[in-house]
Amino acid sequence: MLDPRQLREKRDAILESCRQRRIQADVDGAITEYEKLSAMLTESNEMNRRRNDHQKSGNRPMSDAERTAHAEAGRKLKDDAAGLDDRIREQRSLLESKMMQLPNFIHPDVPIGGEEDYRVVKPGTPPEFGFKPLDHLALAEKHNLLDFEAGARVAGQKWYYLKNEAVLLDLALTRFALDLLLEEGFTPTVTPDVAKPDVVQNIGFTPRGEETQIYSIEGHDLCLIGTAEITLGGMLGDRIVDESELPIRLAGISHCFRTEAGSHGRESRGLYRVHQFTKTEMFVFCRPEDSDAELEKLRCIEEKVFDALEFPYQVIDVASGDLGAPAYRKYDLEAWMPGRGESGGWGEVTSTSNCTDFQARRLQSRFRREGKKKPELLHTLNGTAISNARALLALLEIHQQPDGSIAIPKALIPYVGRDRIGTD
């Protein structure tokens, strides 16, 4: 959420951010609601002054009639103050509903445009196979690695079973990513797989509504998380940390659940879009002046992960129209997937975003600088170390061999205990 005190001053910049993101938001309506709240708060201060003056005036000598009149006036002032407090609460709620519609600002270097208008910041080269490669579903059937049919019978479409070496690879990817992040100074964390709806919303996801990607648990005020970004970000909600503790870098392991409403077509087949997967997420709390550098660090870690997995990939600077509301800037790392489309294509396997103080303002996550009394909002960043389903998809397709076997990347062999799938 943006700072409501800056709405009028930064009105044009907010409108431009909405335009560049191609979203509709009532900026002027938010300004109006904030000014109404400001007027009410001024009125409340004046009323409190009058009540204090009235209370002090009761110390003078008074007749019984004057005492009765004074008490009646005090009760009326108290009732008026209570009524104003109720109106202020309602007005805060109206303002918050308007503020929740407004996206973050946009980094000046972000390319402007829609989904296809990204900028390639690190180009990649598709591999040469020398044979017609299979897609991951054909490879999984050949080696008995996935069972989508059983998953559909048990839970519905886009649910699945991992089997045999796919289980070993799934576990290996998690442990490999965690070990790498430990070397980078991250604190390992296993998060809850659920969160309260207000935490989900404060991070920037929609917990309810037709277009939500979040599952809600019937009968409980809880949601299944779509990413550990939600639970990691919520850890410092309503907290103030010392500057000396920053940056706080967390590596969170969780299951992720997504409705994937409206996701169809060849490019979403198989493991590319599923309802459940395991993910190792990076999350950073830092000082405002450090967040741009932290974003580059997260991007470099993601590249380090996929260099080790021997994946061909490209890195893109995501265009303004494809940014989520909290993101100030976002990089996607796209791996080459031979089974994507008719002749292969790039597919997102990780992303990393700088959300500046957008999430922290909603969560009230703050820090106190050394020697300062007033706390400041933290900046938050997130990045995917490994999203297992898509990483497994890419691994099967990229590392397939002419004889139909699948080579295990050297970085994973110690975790899997073998160097190949499909040979005796």
CATH code where residue 81 lies: 1.10.287.40
Query: Are 349 and 390 in contact, with CB atoms under 8 Å apart?
Result: yes
Tell me: do 243 and 392 sit in the same domain.
yes
Tell me: do 83 and 207 sit in the same domain.
no
pLDDT of residue 97: 87
The domain boundary, picked from 48, 68, 99, lies at: 99
Contacts for 66 with CB less than 8 Å, ≥ 6 apart: none
pLDDT of residue 279: 98
How many domains does the structure of the chain reveal? 2
Structure tokens at 35: 């000014």
Residue with tokens 């389903």: 389
Is residue 105 a part of any domain in this protein? no
Is residue 69 a part of any domain in this protein? yes
How far CA 287 is from CA of 127, 399, 415, in Å, comes to 41, 41, 36
pLDDT of residue 261: 66
Structure tokens at 285: 């709390």
Catalytic one of 8, 273, 287, 420: 273
Which residues, in sequence order, are bridge partners of residue 351? Answer: 332
Neighbours of 275 (CB within 10 A): 19
> Quick one: residue 295, left, alpha or beta (phi over 0 = left, psi -120 to 50 = alpha)?
alpha
Is residue 141 a part of any domain in this protein? yes
Is residue 109 a part of any domain in this protein? no
CATH code of the domain in which 382 resides: 3.30.930.10
> Quick one: residue 22, left, alpha or beta (phi over 0 = left, psi -120 to 50 = alpha)?
left
Catalytic one of 21, 258, 299, 362: 258
Is residue 243 a part of any domain in this protein? yes
pLDDT of residue 264: 60
The domain boundary, picked from 99, 133, 148, lies at: 99
Give the integer Cα–Cα distance in Å for 143 and 166: 9
Query: Are 273 and 300 in contact, with CB atoms under 8 Å apart?
Result: no
Tell me: do 71 and 207 sit in the same domain.
no
Give the integer Cα–Cα distance in Å for 55 and 77: 10
Is residue 107 a part of any domain in this protein? no
Tell me: do 126 and 34 sit in the same domain.
no
Tell me: do 133 and 87 sit in the same domain.
no
Structure tokens at 98: 């308007």
Is residue 209 a part of any domain in this protein? yes
Tell me: do 19 and 80 sit in the same domain.
yes
Tell me: do 46 and 160 sit in the same domain.
no
Catalytic one of 249, 281, 390, 397: 390
- Pairing mode, if any, of strands 345-354 and 119-122? unpaired
Catalytic one of 17, 320, 351, 353: 351
Give the integer Cα–Cα distance in Å for 96 and 102: 10
Q: Is 258 a catalytic residue?
A: yes
Structure tokens at 107: 């980094």
What pTM did the predictor assign? 0.91
Structural domain for 218, as ranges: 115-421
Catalytic one of 348, 369, 376, 405: 348
C-alpha dihedral, 90 to 195 to 380 to 235, nearest 10°: 100
Tell me: do 127 and 200 sit in the same domain.
yes
Q: Is 273 a catalytic residue?
A: yes
Tell me: do 144 and 94 sit in the same domain.
no
Question: Peptide bond preceding 247: is omega within 30 degrees of 0, i.e. cis?
Answer: yes
Residues of the chain with pLDDT under 50: none
Tell me: do 372 and 278 sit in the same domain.
yes
Neighbours of 130 (CB within 10 A): 7
The domain boundary, picked from 71, 99, 127, lies at: 99
Query: Are 349 and 315 in contact, with CB atoms under 8 Å apart?
Result: no
Is residue 329 a part of any domain in this protein? yes
Tell me: do 244 and 310 sit in the same domain.
yes
Tell me: do 162 and 60 sit in the same domain.
no
